[in-house]
Structure 1
Amino acid sequence: MWTGIMVPLRQELMVTLILFLLLFIKVGASEYRTGTILRLVNILLLANLVLGFFPCPDATLFNGMFHTGRLIVLEKNILNLGTLIVSLLAYDWLKEHRQALEFYMLLLATLTGFFFMISSGNLLMFYLGLELSTIPLTALSGFDLEKKQSSEAALKFIISSAFSSALLLFGISLLYGATGSLGFDAIPRRLDGSAFQLFAFILLLSGFAFKISVVPFHLWTADVYEGSPVAVTAYLSVISKGAVFFIFIQALYTVFRPLAGNWNRMLILLSVLTMLTGNLFALRQNNLKRLLAFSSITQSGFILAGITGSSRAGDASVIYFILIYIFSNLGAFGVVSLISAQTGRENIDDYKGLYAANPLLSWVMAISLFSLAGIPPTAGFFGKFFLLMAGAGRGNYVFIGIAALNMVIALYYYLRVIKAIFMDSQPQPIGKLKIPLLPNIAFGLCVAGILVTGVMGWVYDYIYSLSIGF
């Protein structure tokens, strides 16, 4: 019996075990070396990632509230990989921080919440997983306690999260009243497209839109990203957003499948607004964290374009793109994090002449931005290509044309950063920076992922073989 429960829950149990181990160290050790703790945690996160690749049977637990399968395990492994890279990149910042253990305990708590959210088979389990991940994230966004901007970011984040959670709960309650069930398997059979049910769905969609920074629910994003520590911003932009997209597409393709004609039109409108708004605001940014924040908003618009395909190709393209997005966005944020930790500089103008003294960091940043822009032969090109092809599968060619034009607009602000790094100069450029071993490994993983994932066709084929659609 216990084996039947523990095997499907092994990823959740492993993360929880690491969390409690860190808690025991915090409580029981009178003193410890931060560098040793960081290396220990990274080894444990690597073990957690490796464990996720062992076969896991399809299973349903707790009367259908929790379910797992090969696709869900893959999604959790993608989040594990991203969390490990974030941890490696944060080494330079955390080694000087007094609360490194607390950082990891909060981080692992959010990851546990994401896992339960992705495996949820019931709206109540989904909401509990979402809140388990959101509350520690608000604490992480204010983790630089001595900085007023970080506290401001945490306040804005918790207010916006509370509002989005209220919308979700209201939508869930109305949906329960309309269908008499919270189970993912029972709700679709009781949806008839009535105005009451559509109103409940719109509330749920609004709550999701807050979490993934979809316009017009994006207003918190830039301020929270700028005020949070860079490592937390990277986690927010990739891991948090990726987890919500995983459950979002699952909910649309299974739970709300009878309402596909309605939500498809909604997503097309939201996608266009999100891409245009993210691009136009990104054009005006000088702070790199704010630029990458609006860039992440734009990327959410592209992901919505893939979801509108309502097919296996749509599901596969979203998961494939999020895998690529982890490598690309974390590569860019990793460079920003290391430079910010050692110099305190975060503006584009500060990066002028960076290549002269730091060629490795310059190339990591350039390759990451090329991938985010969708320039071949980086993996970002293939990711966006599959997203647009999935969206075009329903004949929305005008919509896909608008998305393609937004890719051209995005080139400007990505190339602006690359121009500053390789072509511009300033009187006091950033000097030679020391890159510790762990961030170096993370940069290698990101660059390898960007350059290799796109040309390894079997990666997309494998994801497609596991995907859902209709």
Structure 2
Amino acid sequence: MSNFFLFMQQELLLTAIIFILLFMKLSTIEWKTKNVLLVVNILLTINLVAGIFIKGNGSLFGDMFQQTELLRLEKNILNLGTLLISLQSYNWLLKHKHATEFYLLMLSTLLGMFFMLSSSNLLMFYVGLELASIPLAALANFDLDKRRSSEAAMKYIMSSAFASGLLLFGISMMYGVTGTVSFAELQTAASDQPLFLFSFILILAGFGFKISAVPFHLWTADVYEGSPIAVTSYLSVISKGSMIFAMTTVLFTVFGQLIFHWYNIIAVLAVLSMIVGNLFAIRQQNVKRFLAFSSISQVGFILIGVTGANAIGQSSVIYFVLIYIFSNLAAFGVLSLVSSEKGKETIDDFKGFYKTNPLLTWVLAIALFSLAGIPPTAGFFGKFFLILAGAGKNNYPLITIAALNMVVSLYYYLRIIKAMFMDANETPIEKVEMTWAPKLSMAICVAGIVITGIASGAYEYIYSLVK
């Protein structure tokens, strides 16, 4: 019993927070939204601190659930991102009458992601995936009075259902071929048998939908634009980050011996994602759609790290996801404030932004510099390690395409920076007032962008856990 509480402490803490919020919602006492937000942020901070300092490794439920130092780190990265999103959403949720329900849904998806990451069995993996996916459709529809929010939820649930169907079909066929759904047994049962390879491709396609890799990306921009910004942030970094963590684990450990089959597939997905993401990002005017195609391009770079298929590759992927959380949430933090206070979401709206909001302008500029991979921000080092991992396979055409796409991405990231600092605007966005929570969130994000880039300890620590 002591092992149960120790190995599952992150999942149990999340479950406890969900029940606390449920009791607060159902109690006869009417909690003010401000107090609910304060309680939730305190509980999420306790959850993050406990995940860092309370340690225990082992397996439960007949080896269906496992906990390791690396998995704990991945969960803590997701916990940190969730806390940052919660802080950034403070102003928006203060005006929303369903703040408690928002957290109930969001933390339920996070709990599903934790079970998905710790699973060592395909069925448990699928159950965790569904728990992580279904509440996200309700979150996408959280702006109940906006038609585009309902449209985003419908597109997400249809795309997610199709992806889950492919994944489950692949799992069922794989069980039919091998007679097992255990990761450990699948490692030895993996073969070149056509039906096994077909089932593996279906599972890989399911992952492609979840991480928005081209050509499985068509739902992304519409869902990002229609969802509330807090939900868009969550989809962009937490949902996508958890699926990337899970995909690297499955590919490297379960199907590692099939690398000569999936290497070329991943390389093609990487090239398509970088090129299509960049080309469509150039054309966008809505900042949320812009960041959607930017995230598709970033997935392409992540997949280059996946092609490394070794400790350096996995370390670079985890390190980049950490950097991506800081960078993307810094950008979304500024957009969230501007959207909730002023209702502005297009690139033209940000013309002359520096004149009235110099602090927010610098936060957004640093975030965009990091996403573009400009030194000395952390994004440069993140992309450098990803390309280094991909170069280990001597696939120089792939590395060349990645380098060229980094140059292309500079154009559309610098376009926003030019609009904020250099373009004239007779009616720039008025000064945006910030409460303590968004200020704290953006300070953490900027510090993370700078520190994780300059200090090498983060990557070295991740590498020590992977190798």
Q: Shorter-chain-normalised TM-score: which range?
A: over 0.9
Deviations 1:55-93 (A, max 9, x none): 423201001110010000000000000000000000010
Question: Equivalent residue for 2:309?
Answer: 310
Q: What letter corresponds to residue 69 of structure 1 in structure 2? A: T
Q: Deviations over 1:25-45 (max 9, x none)?
A: 000134221111101100100
Other-structure match for 2:359: 360
Residue number in structure 2 paired with 1:147: 146
Deviations for 1:114-135, whole angstroms, at most 9, x for unmatched residues?
0000000000010000000101
Question: Which moves more between the two structures, 55-64 or 342-351?
Answer: 55-64
CA contact (8 A) 1:193 1:258 kept: no
SS of equivalent to 2:66: strand
Q: Deviations over 1:129-178 (max 9, x none)?
A: 00001011110001000000000000000000000000000000011111
Partner of 2:76: 77
Counterpart position of 2:99: 100
Distance 2:205 2:113 in 1: 19
1:425 maps onto 2:434 in alignment: no
Q: Give the AA of the match of 1:13.
A: L
Contact 2:33 2:99 in 1 (8 A): yes
Amino acid at match of 1:25: M
Aligned to 1:372: 371
Distance 1:55 1:463 in 2: 18
Question: Residue 429 of structure 1 aligns to a residue in which SS?
Answer: coil
Following superposition, the deviation at residue 427 of structure 1 comes to 2.1
Alpha-carbon distance in 2 for matches of 1:175, 1:354: 54
Q: In the alignment, which residue of structure 1 is the partner of 2:249? A: 250
- 1: distance between equivalents of 2:123 and 2:62? 13
CA distance in 2, matches of 1:132, 1:339: 32
Give deviations 1:365-416, integer Å, cap 9, x for gaps.
Answer: 0000000000000000000000000000010111111011101100111000
| Partner in structure 1 of residue 218 of structure 2 | 219
Q: Is the 8 A contact 2:275 2:297 kept in 1?
A: yes
Structure 1: gaps (5+ residues): none
Q: Is the 8 A contact 1:382 1:454 kept in 2?
A: yes
How far is 1:455 from its partner?
1.2
Contact 1:49 1:77 in 2 (8 A): yes
Distance 1:72 1:208 in 2: 19
- Give, in whole Å, the separation in 1 of the partners of 2:221 and 2:28: 38
Cα offset, 1:54, TM superposition: 1.6
Q: Which residue of 2 aligns with 1:240?
A: 239
Alpha-carbon offset, residue 466 of structure 1: 0.8
Cross-structure match for 2:64:
65
What is the alpha-carbon distance in structure 1 between the residues aligned to residue 217 and residue 458 of structure 2? 32
Alpha carbons 2:256, 2:309 under 8 Å: kept: no
What's the counterpart of residue 386 of structure 2?
A: 387
TM-superposition CA deviations, 1:410-456 (whole Å, max 9, x none): 01110000001011122211011101110000010000000111111
Distance (Å, rounded) in 2 between the aligned partners of 1:71 and 1:29: 42
Aligned residues: 467
Q: Which residue of 1 aligns with 2:206?
A: 207
Give the residue type in structure 2 aligned to 1:222.
Answer: A
Q: How does 1:29-68 map to 2 (within 5 A)?
A: 29-68=28-67
**Distance apart, 1:194 and its partner CA:** 1.4
Contact kept in structure 2, 1:279 and 1:298, CA below 8 Å: yes
Find the aligned partners of 2:57 and 2:195 in 1 and give their Cα distance.
35
Letter in 2 for 1:181: T
User: Counterparts of 1:257 and 1:133 in 2: how far apart (Å)?
Assistant: 25
Partner of 1:397: 396
Take 2:361 and 2:335, find their aligned partners in 1: how far apart are those partners? 11
For residues 433 and 4 of structure 1, the distance between their equivalents in structure 2, rounded to whole angstroms, comes to: 49
- AA at the equivalent of 2:159: S
Q: CA deviation at 1:195?
A: 1.2
Distance 1:30 1:154 in 2: 32
| 1:343 aligned residue | 342
Give the 3-state SS of the residue equivalent to 2:427 in structure 1. Answer: coil
What is the 5 A alignment of 1:10-21?
10-21=9-20
Instruction: Answer yes or no: is 1:184 the counterpart of 2:180.
Output: no
Which ranges in structure 2 are unaligned for 5 or more consecutive residues? none
Q: Distance in 2 between matches of 1:449 and 1:181?
A: 42
* Alpha-carbon distance between aligned partners in 2 of 1:428 and 1:455, rounded to the nearest angstrom: 38
Deviation at 1:257, TM superposition (A): 1.2
Q: Residue 172 in 1 paired to residue 171 in 2?
A: yes
Q: Which residue of 1 aligns with 2:86?
A: 87
Measured in 1, the distance between the counterparts of 2:28 and 2:358 equals 41
| CA–CA separation in structure 2 for the residues paired with 1:107 and 1:57 | 26
State the one-letter code of the partner of 1:182. Answer: V
Q: Partner residue of 1:117? A: 116
Residue by residue over 1:186-219, the C-alpha shift from the partner in whole angstroms, topping out at 9 and shown as x without a partner, is: 0010111111111001100010000000000000
Residue 324 of structure 1 corresponds to 323
Aligned-residue offset at 1:323: 0.3
Deviations 1:211-238 (A, max 9, x none): 0000000000000000000010000000
CA distance in 1, matches of 2:69, 2:240: 21
Name the CA distance, whole Å, in 2 between partners of 1:419 and 1:425: 10
2 CA distance for matches of 1:14 and 1:232?
22
Give the AA of the match of 1:322: V
Partners of 1:421 and 1:315 lie apart in 2 by 36
State the TM-score, normalizing by the size of structure 2.
0.99
Letter of the 1:153 counterpart: A
SS at match of 2:59: strand
On the 8 A contact 1:314/1:387 being kept in 2, the answer is yes
Matched, 1:131 2:130: yes
Q: How does 1:250-329 map to 2 (within 5 A)?
A: 250-329=249-328
Answer whether contact 1:371 1:378 (CA < 8 A) is retained: yes
- What's the C-alpha RMSD, in Å, of the aligned pairs? 0.7
